Amino acid sequence: MKHKAIFLDRDGIINMERGEYTYRMEDFVFVEGLVKALKKFIKHDYKLIVVSNQSGISKGVYSFEEVEKLHAHIQRYMRMNGIEIDEIYYCPHHPDTGLCICRKPDSLLIEKAIARFNIDPSLSYFIGDRQRDIDAAAKVNVKGFLLPSNTPLIELADQITNLAHSN
């Protein structure tokens, strides 16, 4: 059976975009209304997958361990609120330090999720706050929604689940 998914960028969609790298717990703040929106997606049988560029790793600003600690915090918080994030994928690379195909706007991390979770791209959506998020989604035929950073997702969740319900 094919599944549908909501792909989410991290900074600016899940947590507040601060205009600088977010890798410490004390700088991490969830976007308002996130839990309510994610619960709505889950109620409509969407898998939840985070796809994030974390180039501060390759630049030496922060470590893999710091990113993993923050992602464990996200998972704990979501589970406490009855939400399961199916996976968090991230690219540690930066174009200044080397080439890769996992950094958005490339689509390798989305492709991995599609294969692993048997996702139907035509039933799935990517929510991001940068054009590179939408470009990565388009490469694998996932519909993208470009939102301003730090926008609560509930209205979009209503729109997506109403679209899905009407099909």
Q: What is the pLDDT of residues 111-156, one digit of tens each?
A: 999 999 999 999 999 999 999 999 999 999 999 999 999 999 999 9
**88 bridge partner residues:** 50
Residue percentage of the chain with pLDDT more than 70: 98
Q: Which residues contact 166 (CB under 8 A, 6 or more apart)?
A: none
Provide the 10 A C-beta neighbour count for residue 12: 22
Can 120 be counted among the known catalytic residues?
no
> Does residue 27 have an active-site annotation?
no
Whether residue 166 has pLDDT greater than 70 = no
In a domain, 123, yes or no: no
Number of domains in the chain: 1
pLDDT at 98 exceeding the cut of 80? no
Instruction: Give the H/E segment covering residue 48.
Output: strand 46-53
User: Distance between CA atoms of 152 and 84, rounded to whole angstroms?
Assistant: 19
Q: How far is residue 85's CA from residue 74's CA, in Å, rounded to a whole number?
A: 9
Residue 56 lies in a domain: yes
166 occurs within a structural domain: no
Is 55 a residue whose pLDDT tops 80? yes
**In a domain? residue 161:** no
Amino acid 44: pLDDT: 96
- Tell me the pLDDT tens digit for each residue of 23-37: 999 999 999 999 999
Q: What is the pLDDT of residues 99-109, one digit of tens each?
A: 899 999 999 99
CA–CA distance, 165 with 107 (Å, rounded to integer): 27
The predicted pLDDT at position 99 comes to: 82
Q: Looking at residue 143, which CATH number applies to its domain? A: 3.40.50.1000
Instruction: Report yes or no on 114 lying in a domain.
Output: yes
- SS3 (DSSP) at 124: coil
CB atoms within 10 A of CB 8: 24
Residue 155 token pair = 């209205």
- DSSP secondary structure code for residue 44 in this structure: T
The domain of 100 spans 7-118+130-156
Catalytic residue among 11, 106, 129, 133: 11
Q: Is residue 52 part of a domain?
A: yes
Q: Which residue, among 29, 23, 74, has the nearest Cα to 50 in the 3D structure?
A: 74
On the question of pLDDT at 5 being above 90, the answer is: yes
Does 162 reside within a domain?
no
Does the structure show a pLDDT above 90 at 13? yes
Distance (Å, rounded) from C-alpha 35 to C-alpha 95?
A: 33
Q: Is 140 inside any structural domain?
A: yes
**Is 96's pLDDT higher than 90?**
no
Summary mean pLDDT of the chain:
95
